[in-house]
Structures are given as C-alpha cells and as structure tokens.
Amino acid sequence: MDQHDRLVQQVRARIADASRVCSERITKEDGREAILLCFVRAWYACPMTDAQPPEDRLDDALQRRVLDRMGLTTPPPRSLGGLFALYRAWCAHVPFDNIQKVIALRTSRPGPLPGIDAEDFLTRWLDEGTGGTCWTSSNALYVLARTLGFDARRIAASMRDTGILTHASTVVHVGPDRWLLDSAMLTDVPLPLGQEVFVHEDPVYAAEVEPADDGHVVWWDCPPNPEYLPCRLQAGPVDHRFYREAYEASRARGPFNQRLYIRRNFPREMRLIVGNTRYSQTADGLDVQHLTEDGLVRALVEEMGVSPGVVEAWSRAGGLSASFEAPEGPPPPAPSRPRPSRR
C-alpha cells in the first residue's frame, strides 16, 4: 500500500468514526447547522489512524492455534452472534494477570515490557498459560477481532473515573451498534454502548453502562471492592503506539507492579486471586480463601493454568513473596457516586 492509499484509508476511517459519534449526539430537532457543527467537533475528537496496519493482523497459523485453544472449531461469523461467541471464549480461556509484567520488572529484563505485541502475547498464552494487564490483553483481543474481520477499535479509558487514562479496552461496531469487549472486566458478554442505561443483571459477571457527555461510563463488579468500579470510556480510537507508550509508562507506577493479580472466568464462576487471597464468585455468593505459599502456587498451576516453569520464574523473581506483602501506596479512591441502578 503506497502513501496515497494509506492516507485515503485513514481519512475514510476518520469520517466513519466522526459520523458514528455525531449520530449518537444529534436529535430529530437539530437543524442543518447544528448537525454540521456536531460533525466538525466529532472530526477533531477522532484521531487519524490506519485502517489496519500490518501489526493489527495475526498470521493464519497463529489464528488457528488461538481459536483451537479457545474451543472455536471454525472462525466465528462476523455477526453479533459471532462476536458474543468470540468474547465468551476469550473470557473463559485467557486470564487477566500481571505475572509476566512482574517477572520483567523484578528481573530488569531488557527491552519493552512483554506482551504488548499481539503475537508475543498470544504465543505466551498458548505456551505458558499467562495473559497480561489491560494494555497488552486489550491489544491482543483487538488484533484477534480485526483478524477475524470485525470492525474493532482500540480505546483508552479512565479506571475509577479519575480523569487520567489508565485503562485500555476494545469497541466493536456491528451494524449501527457499538459493543464493548473488555479484557479486564471479563463480563462474559459484550456490553452495548447505546443511548440508554444498560444493566447486565448477572450474579457472576454483573455490569452497568450509562451514556455520558463524552462517551460512556461502565460500572463493573470487581471483588474485593465493596462497590462497583466506574470506568469512563474517553479516548478512541487510539493506535498501537499509544498502548505501547502507556504500558511502558506503567513501569514507574501502577496497580499491577507488586502483588499477584489474576482473574479468569469458569462456567458460571469468576475466579480471582489478589495477593494471597482467592475469590470465587458464583450465583451463590462470594467465597474467600487465604492461601499459603504452596496453596498459591498450586492454584496458579492447577486452577488458572499457568505453566509450572513460569510460576517458578515468577517465584524466583520475588513475585511469590511480594504477594504476601501489604499493598504499596495509599488505597485507591472510593466511587464518588452510586452506580445507575442504585440512584
């Protein structure tokens, strides 16, 4: 693809993104000038990105390995049903965890932090059973969706709604509708990003979505937090460079640089280990267990599917002992308002 063709694709993608933003904000009462002004504002709010750079696609062999491990015998169709099948398979097989990041940080591993390229992330998952934190796992989910033909976009968000972009997620367009596929929240089903409040009334994977002036706020159930956490979807689409730089910036400070964090879905169960505490959420409620060092190692290998070799490397790097330490830094702020269904 030459420079001219790439520019044409960039402009077309930006027009499409601005049109979607504008269509969500105008009403039947708006006149021509109001609609034009809305489009101009949306145009400047949407960054120029490549339609699909080379790094946004998996090769055929890796795609087949990934789908096979997820239990998808054939690629899901590019439909809403196919999108639901893809995301549910991701939630059931790919953990959200900080194991590879902690090893890299504690061993001063040279080069970029692991997993920011989708091929690296997915190969480590296939061979070693590890996932990653939001910047890496969201990028891999985005690239997988794009490879399968879905109209996906990388976005950035503010976890806990602090105004600072600290989170990555994926939005997929199916027809006129947009759906959120979040690799950290693991909500089991994509969440609709519409103009009305949406409440996912699931005792295991609960979440709520409310429209806001600058996009949407997602509220999700995240044990051991007593209240749902808000996450404001703010910037998008963004490119791979944005994700890479944000991930590297998290070396200095981040919630996943010390103690173990690993979360994965099982049939009608959300399983999570934070530090040395194991949480199991089912329709019957939340079960909490405090693990010994041996118990924690067994849970990682036998329950979460992490390879013994990686768990050993993580332990040698100090990850195991750090998981029994008190959390570093002050506690995060509590939500300043209740979720939509509690107002």
Q: What is the pLDDT of residues 144-188, one digit of tens each?
A: 999 999 999 999 999 999 999 999 999 999 999 999 999 999 999
- Residue 44 has a pLDDT of 47
The span from the CA of 123 to the CA of 34, in Å, is 49
The amino acid occupying position 237 is P
Phi-psi domain of 318 (left: phi exceeds 0; alpha: psi -120 through 50; beta: other): left
Confidence tier at 110 by pLDDT (50, 70, 90): confident
Percentage above 70 pLDDT, the chain: 84
Question: pLDDT, tens digit, for every residue of 272-292?
Answer: 999 999 999 999 999 999 999
- Residue 40 has a pLDDT of 54
pTM (two decimals): 0.85
Confidence tier at 19 by pLDDT (50, 70, 90): low
- Give the largest CA-CA distance in the chain: 67
The span from the CA of 116 to the CA of 277, in Å, is 28
Q: How many CB atoms lie within 10 A of CB 142?
A: 27
Which positions ≥6 away from 332 have C-beta within 8 Å?
160, 255
Phi-psi domain of 196 (left: phi exceeds 0; alpha: psi -120 through 50; beta: other): beta
